[in-house]
Amino acid sequence: MIDSYVIDPGISLALFFLAALFEIGGGYLVWLWLRENKGVVFGLLGGLILAVYGIIPTFQPANFGRVYAAYGGIFIVSSLIWGFFVDKKKPDRYEVIGALIALVGVFVMFYIPR
């Protein structure tokens, strides 16, 4: 069973954040295409990047449900980071508190040995 493997937090966190970058980046390009009237090339590139995003989590050493549940917390944090750097929107204290709570959930679900 794959969940019995020891998970290297450095590698798995890198994979989680890489997946987040591809998911948010690809989604952002599709957003620009459809909401900001950018060219279809933005949409096609966004779709390609989203397809690559779908592959990245398969390298995690856990089952699908656990990987995607833990990834949800990383996605929350990554979305706030993206918003800060790309949209120039500083997260408020409640967004930061919520993100920290989500990260605690990630570590409990994914990194505590069974």
For the stretch 38-58, pLDDT in tens is 999 999 999 999 999 999 999
Is the per-residue pLDDT at 77 higher than 80? Answer: yes
Q: Which of 13, 96, 94, 111 is nearest to 56 (CA)?
A: 13
Q: What percent of the chain has pLDDT over 90?
A: 89
Is the per-residue pLDDT at 108 higher than 90? Answer: yes
Mean pLDDT of 94-103: 98
Is the per-residue pLDDT at 3 higher than 90? Answer: no
Is the per-residue pLDDT at 4 higher than 60? Answer: no
DSSP 52: H
Residues in CB range of 3: below 8 A, 6 or more apart: 61, 62, 63, 66, 114
Structure tokens at 102: 């989500």
Q: Which pLDDT score, from 0 to 100, does residue 42 have?
A: 98
Percent helix, strand, coil in the chain (nearest 5)?
Answer: 80, 0, 20
Cβ neighbours of 88 (radius 10 Å): 7
pTM for the predicted model, two decimal places: 0.90
Q: Which pLDDT score, from 0 to 100, does residue 7 have?
A: 80
